[in-house]
Amino acid sequence: MNDAALITSIAGVLAAAAPVLFAVIGETISERAGVLNLSMNGMILLSAMGSFAVALATDSVVLGFLAGAAIGAFIAFVVAFASLTLRQSQVAVGFVLAQLCRDLSYFLGNPIMGKVGPRISQVPIPVLERIPVLGTIFFRQDAMTYLSFVLIVLAWFFIFKTRPGLVLRGVGERPAAAYIRGANVNRQRYVYAVIGGAIAGLAGPIYSLSIKAGWKGTISGLDGIGWIVLSITIFGGWKPFRAAFGAYLFAFLQWLGLVLQPSLPSVPSQVLQVAPFPLMILTLLFVNIGNAEWVDRSLARLPENVRRDIAKVLRALNATPPAGLGTPFEKE
Amino acid sequence: MQVEVRGITKCFGAVRANDDISFTVPSATIEGILGENGAGKSTLMKILSGFYRPDSGDILLDGKKVEIDDPADAIRQGIGMLHQDPLDFPPLKVIDDFLLGKRGGLLPRRRAVIREFNELAARFDFSIDPESYVDTLTVGERQQLEILRLLWLGARVLILDEPTTGISLPQKEKLFATLKKLAAEGMTVLFVSHKLEDVESLCNRATVLRQGRLVGTMEPPFDTKALVGMMFGKEVPQEPKAQPRMGGTVLHARQVDLEGIRIQIKGVDLKVRAGEVIGLAGMEGSGQTLFLSACAGLAQPVQGSFCLDEEEKDMTGRTYHEFRKRGVAYLPAARLEQALIPGLTLTEHFILAEGMKGFFIDRKKSEELARRRISLFNIKGRPDSPVESLSGGNQQRALLALMRDPLKLILVEHPTRGLDIESTIYIWGKLKERCAHGTAIVFISSDLDEILKYSDRVLVFFAGKVTPPLDARTLSVERLGRLIGGKDWDRLETEAAHA
Amino acid sequence: MRDTRANRLLFQIGAVLFALLVTVLVLFLAGAQPFAAYKYIVLGALGSWDVVTNVLVSWVPLLLATSGLLVTFTVGLWNIGIEGQITLGAVFTTWAMRLLQDSGWNPTLILVLALLAGILGGTLWALLAGVLRTFGGVNEIFGGLGLNFVATALNIWLIFGPWKRPGVASMSGTLPFDRALWMPIAAGSSRLTPATLVMAVVGIIAVYAMIEGTYFGLRLKAVGKNPKAAYILGIPTWQNMMASFAICGVFAGLAGAVQVTAVYHRLIPSISSGYGYLGLMVALLVGYRASLAAPVALFFAALNVGSIQLPIILKLDSSLAGVLQGTLVLFVMLGNGIRARLIKKGT
């Protein structure tokens, strides 16, 4: 592969990671507040289908994107309502919605299958695009990819540097303590679940109005992305930059699968397409293994310096979820 | 600020937790609120701090009637509450914890807040690094952080709920000095406790609650006997201490080194003999829980070994279940979290603990078993009661009833924490009964009286150091308190050298 | 409000009506005639003896999957990896059949061995999820999802690679087995196999008896409700989790084996037919109670079979069945929540 092709590929990986990034950042915000939104897989499909349908009907990509965000926000609201107000298991509600939204997108998307509709195009940034190498990689993308770069920094800044971000972290870590400090815990959780849902909902239109323009039903290749998003959220340790790294890693692995295809003719293409999925989830093994009891048990007998080094590595890899994740909050 | 309550009544279902309570606390006063568990102290304090709305009655601050919507509203009106388990954020930095909840612009002025924090801390001679993480602090320091935070938010009434339970003697002295200083500056302090000696040494007045009603108020000099009478409505008998009959070794900890998340213990050597009671004292987080769980195989030593029985069977690296097979039982402090299974009935617990043989459950036999144990241990509950419906004391009784026979060693965390005196006496009666049959007991308590009253020998933990076993009969409260606070340790070494 | 049997029933009926109402709206949105759609679903599931037997054919693997999931739910595990366990059951069954089909052995013996191989495959895959969970600290939901993807990849690789049809590999799967190696079909029906029906019924009864009446079942409940306390009470935690993973794997593997030997008679790319996820939905709908699993699974199977003809008759996607099932589970959950809230307020 020559240099130009490589540079274009890197730019392609960045663009391909954009929808995953939106979804991961949205989920991270929601989980930081304590709401696990497991519906991601179906929600992305539904928002992809719904936003394409809206864009097709109105011939407006902007309305398409808004529809995608609205669908994400609505599904997140249902998760929040069922779990925060009605005290149902977040995992159960999320799983049911994941299935329901998936079937709903296939059912409602049937009439618009394979139609050609509007899509967003690349917007090279003047001057900057002419920087060698970097210009192609960073500054000849579409608007949503630019936005995905901004989103990482913005999310990090909000969560770790601002006052409301501090309250957000508090609500997720110890809701009772946030409550006595004046936070309306359930309202905060609703708000961030819905905001997170809206951000994640943009992943759908990024697919259906850009990367994989159109709606192709069960062969869209989008089924499964949502589950990956959830595992990248864990891999990212609920931190935007680490999560972004995970999203780029996933996009890179997918690209690698495509590149390796010609050199591995004996492996069916369907296998390479799903290869990043198990790989991504196996990485969870590395970020979680430090939590396992037997690791402690066997580490205890090692010489002190070895033990410290291993413990240090494990701690760096380890991701601790917000303590209040998934558990309801009762004032008393 | 003067705090007055008038006719406060609060019911939970059929239970009248507060029944027409009225009193006034003038400003610059430290008021002790006494009462046994379930007397209604916590409910009243939670009404004052905005957690509950009273069913009827009024709250007046400086003579003006106020409505308190929620805890945040309470602090806006000047009432701050320090919870028994400080309600803070262990994974956050001290300074973030401190300013969380303070209103203001989008960006917190961290540098200015750090300066204010340090100034405030210096006023009370607290040394907490604002950039450290809350989970690296001791319970006492976390209380100090909460006090600073409440003062910073403008609290003029401070409610403290059982603040002396988890902290060391020096930290307690510091806390009392702080409270006295605050009262002298005009602060009203409500000090909730069931420890008479704390109230007697700190408070300007004491109000006693019993079964939801206010039974009396007393000013110094306090008449201990009268206070006890008010609290319990009767005299509480105290059991004389019996001579232990000690047998052979049941557990031998040999030069054990342990490493916890924030604590390291080096070189503990202990031989536990049949029939004796060993108390582990120290401020919370000094390593005693780590040591106790290692005695049961629930934590692993990095050096040294644990051996069981006369034959010194090496159990190092074995699991709790292997310890259990050899007659070791562990009773954790958090009953509903770690020891009982909410959602299952008493009968089902007995079935599980008994390890009954067979494939299909023998309903008749198991219910008989449950009935027998329930009456034997005087548990207020039925075979089909779910465990979470029992009161704390009855849960603890159920835990004792779940232990199998025969046992060589019982390891208990805080056997009577949160229990009233009657249950405490009952629990220790049952434990001592076991000792009479040759079972050894090792227990943790933060209550010095409990340590001295029930132990034969005592191990004191301080910052990872452990004393050799000390004879409880020759140990005074003062000496124990000083050791817990880290004093006299060098003298201990010279003593050991002479012995 | 008080907690009575009557208002529980009322809320459940309400949830069903609400689910129907929402689906009617969805149908309007799709520009379809709701009543026609419902009519054809009912006809498609009950219209003839043949479709009724098709419902039963679909009920068997669904009930098997649900039975297994009830065991993992009892011990507090979300065995979402069941899809992969079904797939591996089918793969192992196909593997055994391919090895033995030309051996000239008694077909019954071959079928029994193939079923056992399927059980082995499902169990191994479930234990793998268990190992990831107990020794790797990976939550069983994410470990299971990963293993589902691996199972799919493996299945497709086999169909397009080593086990491909002579000539050209295709999405229609491997070459069908000889008719002699099909699970015996009941007289007067085209697909119903009584042996598998017996397996499913015996399976759910066994699971019910085990959870409600045995010491083992009680231990699983204890671990499910509070693993820490169960451990202190002397109940091995991870061993019981592994055991329940294995039991679920047995059921899932059997479901996969049934798909190969009694339904498709070959290995196809989507051999699990989504029965694993659907089984999770059934388990959620019945609130993990084994006593209700069989009828609810039957209803879900009827919806699936009933909507097969929709694309041909009404030009509607057959995923309508999934929409109906999903809304139903969702509204029953919401109904439970609302009811619990009203009861709490009433006291």
pLDDT given for residue C249 in this prediction: 97
The predicted-structure confidence for B258-292, as pLDDT tens digits, reads as follows 887 667 888 888 999 998 999 998 876 778 889 99
**The three-state (H, E, C) secondary structure of A253-293, written as one string:** HHHHHHHHHHHCCCCCHHHHHHCHHHHHHHHHHHHHHHHCH
Q: Do A297 and B96 touch (CB under 8 A)?
A: no
Chain C residues within 8 Å of chain B (Cβ atoms): 213-216, 218-219, 221-222, 225-226, 228-236, 347
Distance (Å) from the alpha carbon of C210 to chain B's nearest alpha carbon: 8
User: Six-digit token pair at A301?
Assistant: 């007998």
Whether B229 shows a pLDDT value over 90: the answer reads no
Q: Which of C214, C219, C347 sits opposite B352 (nearest CB)?
A: C219
Interface size between A and B, measured as CB pairs under 8 A: 77
What is the maximal distance between C-alpha atoms in chain A? Answer: 68
pLDDT given for residue A331 in this prediction: 63
Q: Do A285 and C80 touch (CB under 8 A)?
A: no
pLDDT given for residue B237 in this prediction: 46
CA distance B329 to B314: 17
**Are B314 and C204 spatial neighbours (Cβ–Cβ below 8 Å)?**
no
What secondary structure does DSSP assign to C167-209, as a single string?
Answer: S---TT-SPPPPGGGSPPPPTT-SS--HHHHHHHHHHHHHHHH
CA distance B160 to B187: 13
Which chains touch A (3+ CB pairs under 8 A)? B, C
Q: Which domains are delineated in chain B?
A: 3-232 (3.40.50.300), 249-327+406-498 (3.40.50.300), 340-404 (no CATH)
On chain B, the residues whose CB falls within 8 A of the CB of C228 are: 332, 337-338
Helix or strand or coil: residue B321? helix
Whether C292 shows a pLDDT value over 50: the answer reads yes
Q: Which of C214, C215, C222 sits opposite B341 (nearest CB)?
A: C222
Average pLDDT over residues C134-154: 87
**The three-state (H, E, C) secondary structure of B171-216, written as one string:** HHHHHHHHHHHHHHCCCEEEEEECCHHHHHHHCCEEEEEECCEEEE
User: Six-digit token pair at B287?
Assistant: 């390593």
Instruction: At B205, give phi and psi (nearest 5°).
Output: -150, 160
| Cα three-residue angle A240-A243-A244, rounded to 5 degrees | 85
Q: By the CB < 8 Å criterion, does A87 face chain C?
A: yes
Q: Do B361 and C219 touch (CB under 8 A)?
A: no
More confident residue, C94 or B357: C94
Helix or strand or coil: residue C233? coil
The predicted-structure confidence for C191-218, as pLDDT tens digits, reads as follows 889 999 999 999 999 999 999 999 999 9
Interface confidence: ipTM more than 0.90: yes
Q: Do B108 and A170 touch (CB under 8 A)?
A: no
Which chains touch B (3+ CB pairs under 8 A)? A, C
Q: By the CB < 8 Å criterion, does A54 face chain C?
A: no
**Are B14 and B173 spatial neighbours (Cβ–Cβ below 8 Å)?**
no
pLDDT given for residue B238 in this prediction: 46
Q: Which residue of B has its CA nearest to C236?
A: B321
Report which secondary-structure segment, H or E, holds B96. Answer: helix B94-99
The predicted-structure confidence for B357-379, as pLDDT tens digits, reads as follows 788 888 888 999 999 989 888 88
CA distance C68 to A65: 42
> Domain map of chain C by residue range?
1-32+316-347, 51-309
On chain B, the residues whose CB falls within 8 A of the CB of A300 are: 259, 300-302
Q: Do C142 and A230 touch (CB under 8 A)?
A: yes
Q: Which of A99, A108, A291 sits opposite C29 (nearest CB)?
A: A108
Q: H helices within chain C, ranges in order?
A: 5-29, 34-46, 49-74, 82-100, 107-136, 140-160, 194-213, 215-225, 227-232, 237-258, 275-285, 290-306, 310-314, 320-346
CA distance B444 to B293: 11
Interface size between B and C, measured as CB pairs under 8 A: 66
CA distance C52 to A133: 64
Q: Which residue of C has its CA nearest to B330?
A: C232
Q: Which of A169, A181, A304 sits opposite B72 (nearest CB)?
A: A181
Whether B192 shows a pLDDT value over 60: the answer reads yes
On chain C, the residues whose CB falls within 8 A of the CB of A107 are: 26, 30, 316-317, 319-320, 322-323
The CATH number corresponding to C51-309 among 3.40.50, 1.10.3470, 2.60.40, 3.40.1010 equals 1.10.3470
Report which secondary-structure segment, H or E, holds B324. Answer: helix B320-325
Instruction: At C195, give phi and psi (nearest 5°).
Output: -60, -45
Q: Which of C139, C149, C156 sits opposite A224 (nearest CB)?
A: C149
Q: By the CB < 8 Å criterion, does C18 face chain A?
A: no
Helix or strand or coil: residue B409? strand
CA distance B395 to B381: 10
pLDDT given for residue C311 in this prediction: 86
Half-sphere exposure of B418 toward its Cβ, with a 13 Å CA cutoff? 14
Strands ordered across the beta sheet of B188-193: B79-82, B157-161, B188-193, B30-34, B205-210, B213-218
Helix or strand or coil: residue B306? strand
Most confident of the following: B312-321, C255-264, C304-313: C255-264
pLDDT given for residue A44 in this prediction: 97
- Give the predicted TM-score (pTM) of the model: 0.89
Q: Do A268 and C326 touch (CB under 8 A)?
A: no
Q: Do C230 and B341 touch (CB under 8 A)?
A: yes
pLDDT given for residue A137 in this prediction: 80
Mean pLDDT score of chain B, rounded to an integer? 86
Most confident of the following: B82-86, B462-466, C177-181, C238-242: C238-242
Q: Do C138 and A103 touch (CB under 8 A)?
A: no
| Interface list for C 126-155 with A (CB within 8 A) | 132, 134-139, 141-143, 145-147, 149-150, 152-153
Q: Which of C269, C319, C337 sits opposite A103 (nearest CB)?
A: C319
pLDDT given for residue A297 in this prediction: 66
On chain C, the residues whose CB falls within 8 A of the CB of B341 are: 222, 225-226, 229-230, 233
Whether B235 shows a pLDDT value over 60: the answer reads no
Q: Do A180 and B71 touch (CB under 8 A)?
A: yes
Q: Do A88 and C322 touch (CB under 8 A)?
A: no
More confident residue, A295 or C122: C122
Instruction: At B21, give phi and psi (nearest 5°).
Output: -95, 130
Q: Which of A163, A238, A314 is the best mutation test for B, with the most CBs of B within 10 A?
A: A163
Percent of chain C with pLDDT over 70: 99
| Interface list for B 117-156 with C (CB within 8 A) | none
CA distance C18 to C215: 40
CA distance B139 to B162: 13
On chain C, the residues whose CB falls within 8 A of the CB of B342 are: 225-226
Tokens 């066994």 map to which residue? C206
The contacts of residue B419 (CB under 8 Å, 6+ apart) are B37, B392, B393, B396, B427
Distance (Å) from the alpha carbon of A186 to chain B's nearest alpha carbon: 14
The β-bridge relationship of strands B277-282 and B457-462 is parallel
More confident residue, B357 or C35: C35
Q: Do C232 and B343 touch (CB under 8 A)?
A: no
Percent of chain C with pLDDT over 90: 62
Distance (Å) from the alpha carbon of C109 to chain A's nearest alpha carbon: 34
Average pLDDT over residues C258-264: 94
Q: By the CB < 8 Å criterion, does A163 face chain B?
A: yes
Average pLDDT over residues B233-245: 54
| Interface list for A 201-220 with C (CB within 8 A) | 217
Q: Which of C215, C229, C234 sits opposite B341 (nearest CB)?
A: C229
On chain C, the residues whose CB falls within 8 A of the CB of B15 are: none
How buried is B2 (Cβ within 10 angstroms: 0-12 exposed, 13-18 middle, 19+ buried)?
Answer: middle
Q: By the CB < 8 Å criterion, does B332 face chain C?
A: yes
pLDDT given for residue C33 in this prediction: 87
Q: Which domains are delineated in chain A?
A: 3-248 (1.10.3470)
**Are C72 and C246 spatial neighbours (Cβ–Cβ below 8 Å)?**
no
Q: Do C225 and B341 touch (CB under 8 A)?
A: yes
pLDDT given for residue A187 in this prediction: 94
- Range with lowest mean pLDDT among B310-319, B337-346, C225-234: B310-319
Distance (Å) from the alpha carbon of A184 to chain B's nearest alpha carbon: 10
Q: What is the pLDDT along chain A (332 residues), one digit of tens a residue?
A: 577 888 888 888 999 999 999 999 999 999 999 999 999 999 999 999 999 999 999 999 999 999 999 999 999 999 999 999 999 999 999 999 999 999 999 999 988 988 888 888 888 888 888 888 888 888 888 889 999 999 999 999 999 999 999 999 999 999 999 999 988 999 999 999 999 999 999 999 999 999 888 898 888 788 889 988 998 898 888 999 999 999 999 899 888 887 877 777 777 777 777 777 777 667 777 777 766 667 766 766 677 677 777 777 776 777 777 877 877 777 65
Percent of chain B with pLDDT over 90: 33
Q: By the CB < 8 Å criterion, does A190 face chain C?
A: no
The contacts of residue C185 (CB under 8 Å, 6+ apart) are C191, C192, C193
Q: Do A166 and B106 touch (CB under 8 A)?
A: no
Q: Which residue of C has its CA nearest to B293?
A: C232
User: Six-digit token pair at C225?
Assistant: 């409700």
